[in-house]
Amino acid sequence: MSAPKISPPGANLPMNLCMAGKKNQTQQRAREKSFILVTSALILLTLAGLVALDGQNRARLFASGVSKPPKQPIQEISVSAAPLADEAFSYFAKQEGIQTQALNSIHSPPVLSLATALPEIGFSRILEGFLKDSSCRLQKWEGETPRYSITLGRGQEGVTLDLRFADASKPVQNEPTGHKKLFQASDTLPDLPAAQFPPAKIALILDDAGSGAQSQWVFLDLPVRLSFAVLPGHPNSRRFAEMARARGHDVLVHLPMQPNNSERQALEKEMLKPGMDEREVARVLDAALLTVPGARGINNHQGSLATQDRDLMRRLMRCLTLRGLFFVDSFTHAASVGLEEAIRAGMPGRRRDFFLDDTVEAAAIEEALHSLVRKAIRNGKAIGIGHVTKPETLRVLQEKLPLYRARGIEFVGVSEFP
């Protein structure tokens, strides 16, 4: 008997079922091909659209005169990114006599260009108003007439005013406040970090203390450290010197020295005169020190003739060195050799920069004080001299010293100057 035959799988299936399976496989392949074709078409259409859009953008750039698109477009700082600069622009644009020419908000810190025909004291008063309204501080004032760079700060914000003083005979008109244009590259100021700005220190010396002036006692209550130059041998000399020291102020001897013969001034009984030998110089100095306890140095009272005498100044410096005292040249004459001889003797060089009250008017005193502050900001320090005998000086200092101190100006004793 032969073995039974074994049929392969599917050999016994009906023919119509086999044909149906092949048909389904063919349809599946067709659907896959259709999906691939549709997807490819969509991708090609998307790419074509992007190419067309890029071409339109390029066309707009070429039409505007740009030869090729920038690699990284520059983004202007918005108003909210530089609020202090925007406040400054709005404030100065509203002031009469000041022209807001340009605001560079891209520069760091922003730079606001201003022009004015106002005098410096007039602009300073407007600037004081802005500092008060915006709660910012004056950080730096540098430059020379007619152009100044003024840096203001508030926390981490800052703005630099590029200020130009115009001819006062040509009135300045404000431009519309809605338009802001950028500086040309050649007009922008160098970006100096605040750390490079030297601190502004001022030593205010107040002469003629110890006299009979009633106003002198009120000067002791000013809210900054001062240096009082006390006239020796007066009824109030000792008392005033002691009170000034108790308040933390520096005390100097306001040592009388001979003025020019042409100067009609009241003279002290004891003074330094040309022709004195060192022994006589020491006698006058020691007699003065006895009535001004705690004096740390001296400055000259009058002395336009005496300070020109090199031999006399050299003898005085030797006497001061032996007593551990310093000298401040009141600089009452341009030919004074006091500073030169003090430096020669190994002392710190200290000399007056401004007299505050040569003209006894409030406006003139304010202007002199402002000039003193500006020089301190520019050079890091400055020395000014006023007089306790002038009530107008007291009123100006009472008003202005707190404002300047609040804006970062430091008032120190003259002994702190190197």
Decide: residue 210, CB within 10 A, 0-12 exposed, 13-18 middle, 19+ buried.
Answer: buried
Tell whether 119 and 178 lie within a shared domain. yes
Averaged pLDDT score across all residues of the chain: 80
Tell whether 258 and 143 lie within a shared domain. no
Locate 3 and state its tokens: 């073995």
Tell whether 358 and 378 lie within a shared domain. yes
CA distance 328 to 379: 18
Quote the domain boundaries for residue 331. Answer: 201-416
* pLDDT at residue 142 in the model: 78
Residue 42 domain flag:
no
* pLDDT at residue 203 in the model: 98
SS3 88: helix
Tell whether 181 and 264 lie within a shared domain. no
Q: What are 273's strand-pairing partners?
A: none
Residue 215 domain flag:
yes
- Decide which of 336 and 77 is more confident: 336
- Decide which of 390 and 166 is more confident: 390
Please compute the mean of the pLDDT values over residues 297-318 and round it to a whole number: 97
CATH code assigned at 257: 3.20.20.370
Other Cβ atoms closer than 10 A to 301: 23
* pLDDT at residue 117 in the model: 86
Tell whether 206 and 85 lie within a shared domain. no
pTM over 0.85: no
Residue 380 domain flag:
yes
Instruction: Quote the number of domains for the chain.
Output: 2
Other Cβ atoms closer than 10 A to 395: 14
> For strand 250-257 and strand 297-302, is the pairing parallel, antiparallel, or unpaired?
parallel
Residues 188/149, Cβ–Cβ less than 8 Å:
no
Torsion of CA 336, 319, 290, 388, to 10 degrees: 20
CA distance 230 to 301: 10
Tell whether 263 and 397 lie within a shared domain. yes
Among 174, 193, 212, where does a domain finish? 193
For 5-28, the pLDDT digits (tens) are 555 554 554 555 445 555 566 666
CA 146-149-153 angle, to 5 degrees, is: 150
For 138-154, the pLDDT digits (tens) are 887 777 778 888 989 88
Residues 332/307, Cβ–Cβ less than 8 Å:
yes
* pLDDT at residue 270 in the model: 92
Tell whether 325 and 184 lie within a shared domain. no
Among 158, 193, 228, where does a domain finish? 193
Tell whether 220 and 110 lie within a shared domain. no
Tell whether 339 and 363 lie within a shared domain. yes
For 120-135, the pLDDT digits (tens) are 777 877 888 898 888 8
Tell whether 327 and 411 lie within a shared domain. yes
Tell whether 276 and 323 lie within a shared domain. yes
Q: What is the 3-state secondary structure (H, E, C) of 395-408?
A: HHHHHHHHHHHHCC
If pLDDT is split at 50, 70 and 90, which confidence band does 323 have?
very high
CATH code assigned at 116: 3.30.460
Tell whether 278 and 354 lie within a shared domain. yes
* pLDDT at residue 144 in the model: 74
- Decide which of 143 and 77 is more confident: 143
Q: Determine which of 75-79, 220-224, 247-251, 389-393 has the lowest per-residue pLDDT on average.
A: 75-79
SS3 276: coil
Assess whether the previous peptide bond of 109 is cis (omega < 30° from 0).
yes
